[in-house]
Amino acid sequence: GAVVSQHPSWVICKSGTSVKIECRSLDFQATTMFWYRQFPKQSLMLMATSNEGSKATYEQGVEKDKFLINHASLTLSTLTVTSAHPEDSSFYICSASVSSNRAKNIQYFGAGTRLSVL
Amino acid sequence: GESVGLHLPTLSVQEGDNSIINCAYSNSASDYFIWYKQESGKGPQFIIDIRSNMDKRQGQRVTVLLNKTVKHLSLQIAATQPGDSAVYFCAETGGGQGGKLIFGQGTELSVKP
């Protein structure tokens, strides 16, 4: 259980184009999803917290107009990198939170999306 | 913007030996901790968790120890196997709301056959 699917796994795009990444919880409903960015040999940096039906909460320093997040249903959140530039090249990972009495904060992660902007 | 590259701490162990991966956390208000395993090019995978009202929890071949006095967390892997080679991250709640997790810098475990 608790499978999170992320698509695409790898995308190459031209500078100035937009890229959409999808994150789906396959076998559970996730009221909260998270988007992270990870550079090589570094830890995960939280970009934003996405709650179903409401606006995403962005971390300090993350441009909300650059990284558009939509959480239209309890099983789907999308991240759109708008007008991508080479410095946006990175590994983007989503997670979905499962809340229970014991495990209130467990996040289950997607496989990540490698974005390369030429 | 420019990113500062950090070299992950590395731990190299012989296959069959036990591994101990350490993590220091900063927020004394954190009440829940998770260990994740991340293989190259993949997303983090949940390993084991522990609440702050416990000091030890065991899973299959893994044990997590929590020392709140010194804000230290460790992950012990028994009989380490080549498939255990990965980067291991500890994560804490930071005492905040909304289910956010704060991730440590990670430790790269390399298992020699």
Tell me the average pLDDT of chain A. Answer: 91
Selected residue with higher pLDDT from A114 and A105: A114
- A65, burial (CB in 10 Å: exposed 0-12, middle 13-18, buried 19+): exposed
What are the two backbone dihedrals, phi and then psi, of residue A34, each rounded to the nearest 5 degrees? -125, 145
pLDDT at residue A101 in the model:
55
Q: How far is A89 from chain B (nearest CA, A)?
A: 11
- Is there a contact between B98 and A43 if contact means CB atoms under 8 Å apart? no
- Is there a contact between A93 and B43 if contact means CB atoms under 8 Å apart? yes
* Least confident segment among A28-32, A100-104, B45-49, B83-87: A100-104
Mean pLDDT value of segment B9-25: 96
What residues of chain B lie within 8 A of the CB of A57, using their CB?
A: 98
Of A4, A41, A110, the CB nearest to B7: A41
Determine the residue type at B27.
N
Contact B44, A93 (CB under 8 A): yes
Is A32's Cβ below 8 Å from some Cβ in B?
yes
